[in-house]
Structure 1
Amino acid sequence: MKGPVLGIDLGTTNSVVAVAGDAGIDVLTTPEGHRLIPSVVSFHPSGEVLVGRAARDRRLLDAQNTVYSVKRLIGRPFESREVQRAKERFAFEFAPSASGGVLVASRGETYTLSEISAFVLREVRRVAELATGGPCTRAVITVPANFNELQRSATKAAGRVAGLEVLRILNEPTAAALAYGYGSGSRERVAIFDLGGGTFDVTILELAGEVFEVVATAGDTYLGGDDIDQLIAEQMAEAFLAHHRYDPRGDRQAYERLRAAAEWAKCQLSAEEEVQLRIEELAYGEGGVSLDLTFGLSRQGLEAMAMPLLARAFDVCEEAMNVAGVRPTQIDQVILVGGSTRMPLVHRMVEDYFGKQPLATIDPDLVVAQGAALQGQALATSRAKSRLGRVTLRRVSQVGMRPAAAVEEVQVKGDPRAAGYAPPPPPPPPAA
């Protein structure tokens, strides 16, 4: 008997895996109870390849051999602006392939970006098999709506290398809409506002009866939580330089510690008004004296810092609106996707732009995997009259936009909500 079809959100920063059944959707956890699996790979001196949280922890110890945030580079030429920008920002090394593509170099070996993704997918599969107690060999994997065919093929190839039969490559915004139960005959225009760790995408879906159509998508491959972290880290580095006359940005290991601390501060400020942090022995001065950093940041200060960066998201929204031929007030519903949408500032800016409260009753980190799981369950049981509905996809045409993306129609037969499925209740607010 075949195991469940996995719904996998292969994210830039974190990956999530879920399965759907008659009782609903289950987001699977690691043995330690974590639902987010960091999309990080670290090559240990022993030869072991670490993936997930163990790899993420190595960023502080071995930044040059720890690879992360490469999803945005899949399918791009080595000489492209995006890859050259990544070379400047990340501590690990890039190299050109014989065909002009991108390789990651570590400890004398090189790896394609599909191989890096395959390491992550192999870990996702391992987590799923431990959680379900059986083999998991089939999956639906999501990608941004603006991924081209080369990028989609590379993602599918990564799944095969990880031992997965990839039944479908599904657009992330379509997955998010499926998770919210759309596809039951309503006629609506929905915007998916997806602000993750490394990238931002906005997609406009038109729902007509039981058909989902991507009418416009636009994105910024260097706009996300990582970029906000960098703003904070830069301010921390300036404070350290002013106090100690030593610039930690010249030490890759020290700067990775700053970035990790910046991420923690940013997350805390979604629930708190102010944070204080201390990093001991960030660097060493004359005579081996340890140099520590004490740094405070308020939510107001973070928002002032992040607002110009986040304003770029709404320039991207304007691109999508122009392609779709609509205005923000003509959007019926806005769905938030991606962990960075937890920032109170993001909520306010989205509400101001669209003129309505965005929908975030499903955890924005988990919603895409849940929709992919619904698609996977429907594909697996379509001949058995799935209670969650049967979903079929077909490629239609190309849309002229920046960047170009394929239109996708999704036909849903049956109403997921009528089958007893309903989106989970909103997560409890973080503790103050």
Structure 2
Amino acid sequence: MKTIQPAVLIFLFFILSLVLHSHQASVGIHFTHEFISIATIKHDMFFRITTNGHDRVDTSIAIMENGEIMFGEQANLQHSNRVDQIRFLLEHKFDELPTDFIDDYPSKIIQDHSGNPIVELKFNNGSTELLDPIEAFSILVFEKLKESSEEFLKETVERMIISIPSQLSKQQRRKILDLAPKDLQVDLVDEESLAIKGYDLIPEENSKILIMNWNSYELQVGVWDFSNEKLKKLLEKSDPRIGWNEFDSLFERYWPGGIDLKIDPKQLRCKLAKKQPVQIFDHETDLSNSKLLKEITLEEYIEVSSPLLDIFKQDLHKIMESYPPSQIDHIILFNSTCSFPTISSIIEHQFGKNILHSIDDPILIGATKLSQFQNGNHFHAPSTDYSNKHSHDEL
């Protein structure tokens, strides 16, 4: 009986591995306060995965009385039994939540035995269900988004790299991983590490990195030390006075005479950030018979926003008191797709160095790049040292 040559066995094993893995995909996920984005790499090309025609999915789920689960925009149409702003709930204790946030929330928020917020869902038949934010997150990501991604890719998603805020505790991270399907490899990576990977930044040993996360609710600022391929948090501050929602609200209140802007403030800000003047007409649908009420320019937006920009400058000065510009080696600004150029100019002027901010969603790019590595936890990206967690102090 002839024996099969080793070279033939190796070739057959190679062919078999191609067959087994040809319909499996790895994805990167960016989990923000407002939306979740998913992407993958195919044939060395980065592309976003769309759900219902959108490449960003609202972080909302709604549970119907019959057990049906809706998510994204469909969930937002439900006026009750909805869990949204999942990340904001994960980042805060119950007593840290603003009163207006609790009052405006589509479902009742109560406090669990550990002081964490938990959502109470009430159904028409009188029954109730308690859902904590981590469970809502697992339903959204591990069930609904995994399913929609597989439909889009026509492949089985076998691995996820998920961005998470650095404030999440070890217990929260462990619970997320415990809720993941057993056949799905999940890695949770801090946003800061993914942003560095997204920019292909290779920090020098013992370098200091100033990272700013500017989201709808607050400005988060952290100073990190990079040593031995690890990020160690040295300083963390936040300022809820200058989240993007505050900029948008200020601009809405600015107009005398009650001119209706007829445009979502965030859309207006995004257009102005691209230096595109925005024209406001009295009839939005029939422009042929409309009267031009106002043309808004970037310069005017900056002028209106000057009180908030002054607060931002004050925040930078407070950071510089602890870490002067000479000690900062790199600066990264993320979650700022629709920030206007003045923000970058202020930072660069104060610190005297260039800022990394030009890539649209470096966190998603970083997560997607890491998802392609198949060697366990060795991602060739900085990990985070959790032994030096600081409280989330306000600026």
TM over 0.5, shorter chain: yes
- Name the counterpart of 1:309: 308
Matched residue, 1:7:
28
- Name the structure 2 match of 1:120: 140
SS of 1:145 mapped into structure 2: coil
Please show how residues 172-191 of structure 1 align to structure 2 within 5 Å: 172-183=191-202, 188-191=207-210
- Pick the aligned partner of 1:102 from 117, 121, 125: 117
1:222-261 alignment to 2 at 5 Å? 223-235=242-254, 240=258, 261=264
- Indicate if the aligned counterparts of 1:190 and 1:332 stay in contact, CA closer than 8 A: yes
> Alpha-carbon deviations, 1:125-177, whole Å to 9, x = none?
234323432111432222222333354445546xx257784643211111100
Residues of 1 paired with 2:196 and 2:243: CA distance? Answer: 21
Residue among 41, 48, 63 paired with 1:28:
48
Alignment partners' CA distance in 2, 1:396 and 1:222: 28
- Please name the residue that 2:13 is paired with: none
Ranges in structure 1 where 5+ consecutive residues have no aligned partner: 244-257, 281-293, 405-432
Secondary structure of the corresponding residue to residue 264 of structure 1 = helix
Q: What CA RMSD, in Å, does the superposition of the two structures yield over aligned residues?
A: 4.0
Farther off after superposition, 300-309 or 181-190: 181-190
Cα distance in 2 between the residues matched to 1:341 and 1:164: 38
Go from structure 1 to structure 2 and tell me whether the alpha carbon gap of 1:187 and 1:310 turns closer, same or farther (over 3 Å shift).
Answer: same
User: In 1, Cα distance between the equivalents of 2:283 and 2:144?
Assistant: 31
3-state SS of the aligned residue for 1:136? strand
Q: In the superposition, relative to structure 1, how do residues 390 and 349 fare at CA in structure 2: closer, same or farther (>3 Å)?
A: closer
Q: Deviations over 1:255-289 (max 9, x none)?
A: xxx99722222222223233316688xxxxxxxxx
Work out whether residues 61 and 75 of structure 2, in 8 Å CA contact, stay in contact via their aligned partners in 1. yes
What does residue 332 of structure 2 align with?
335
In 2, distance between residues paired with 1:260 and 1:166? 42
User: Where does 1:188-227 land on structure 2 (aligned, <5 Å)?
Assistant: 188-208=207-227, 210-220=229-239, 223-227=242-246
| Alignment deviations for residues 238-265 of structure 1 (CA, whole Å, 9 cap, x no partner) | 854x99xxxxxxxxxxxxxx99722222
State how far apart, in whole Å, the 1-side matches of 2:318 and 2:177 are: 29
Cα 1:147/1:211, change in 2 over 3 Å: closer
How many residue pairs get aligned? The number is 358
Partner of 1:346: 343
How far off is 1:217 after superposition? 2.8
CA contact 1:93–1:104 (8 Å) conserved in 2: yes
In structure 2, runs of 5+ residues without a counterpart are 1-19, 285-292
Preserved CA contact (<8 Å) 1:137 1:163? no
State the 1:54 CA deviation.
3.7
For residues 203 and 68 of structure 2, the distance between their equivalents in structure 1, rounded to whole angstroms, comes to 48
Which residue number in structure 1 is paired with residue 106 of structure 2? 92
**Which residue among 361, 364, 381 is the counterpart of 2:375?**
381
C-alpha spacing 1:310/1:35, structure 2 compared with 1 (3 Å): farther
Q: Name the SS of the counterpart of 2:345 in structure 1.
A: helix
SS of the residue corresponding to residue 168 of structure 2 reads coil
- Tell me, in whole angstroms, the C-alpha distance in 2 between the residues paired with 1:33 and 1:382: 33
- Return the offset for 1:46: 8.4
How much does 1:337 deviate? 0.9
C-alpha separation in 2, matches of 1:239 and 1:67: 37
CA contact (8 A) 1:191 1:203 kept: yes
Structure 1 residue matching 2:372: 3-state secondary structure: helix
* Equivalent residue, structure 1, for 2:57: 37
The alignment-based identity, stated in percent, is 17
1:214, CA displacement in angstroms?
Answer: 3.4
